[in-house]
Amino acid sequence: MLHGEYEGVKTMYETGTIRVPRPICKEGGDEPFAVYEYLNLSGGGDDFEMGRKLAKMHRCLSPNSMHGFHVPNTIGSTPQSNTWSSTWSDFYVEHRFKAILKSCGGLGYSPPEIDACCAVIATELSRHSPQPSLLHGDLWGGNRGYADGEPVIFDPATYYGDREADIAMTRLFGGYSGKFYEGYEEEWPLEEGFEERRKTIYNFYHIANHYAMFGGMYYNQARQMFDSILNNNYPD
């Protein structure tokens, strides 16, 4: 977990785009640790600039033109496989959708139902075919802030994939202002179809993961999203 997070922060830091805590050192063995720059997060800052700088980070593409990452990591406490794949649809279906369903016991769906939903996702994402952008991977509102007014993101689950997966999570739990999205759109506008379809596909992963970690109310929400994807019936 520490190694995966450290490598993610290091990769983001080296882009020189949006600020992250500077990685200092890490150690494995029986007592592993990682050390980062201390940042005093307080007050607000320029949301427009945060959106613009995140878009700049997303313009940093995979060094091998593939989707994935050079090490596995975690999303919360859930292991996250990042095995390289040449296509985004293959990567997302195998290493995000199927993987998280396995972690939460399939949510009560049968193998044929899961296969059918995988086919819907594969078809949609094959039409999309995004570039493999550097992603934060867990960009809910609690993983961003400001240090002396400068935008900062931290606590990532980094990999290279569709930049819309990051933007989708900013919409899931709130915490981002309209200025953030204005800044992002000015730097790199999103493609048509994100709001209607792909946002639900990508956020299913996070809701199912919350069920895997916390149980409770996330079960019904995850099933509702699964059914929306399977039936091509997306919320407004």
Other beta carbons within 10 Å of 219: 17
Q: How far apart (Å, rounded) are the C-alpha atoms in residues 17 and 226?
A: 35
Strands annotated E in the chain: 23-27, 33-36, 73-75, 78-80, 133-135, 144-147, 150-153, 159-161
- Catalytic-role residue among 30, 115, 138, 162: 138
The residue written with tokens 């997306």 in the block is 234
Q: How far apart (Å, rounded) are the C-alpha atoms in residues 150 and 224?
A: 38
| C-alpha distances out from residue 160 to 47, 84, 138, Å | 24, 9, 13
Phi, psi angle pair for 57, to nearest 5°: -65, -40
- Select from 45, 29, 3 the least CA-distant residue to 152: 45
Active site residue 138: yes
Q: Is residue 231 a contact partner of residue 122, using CB atoms and an 8 Å limit?
A: no
Known catalytic residues? 138
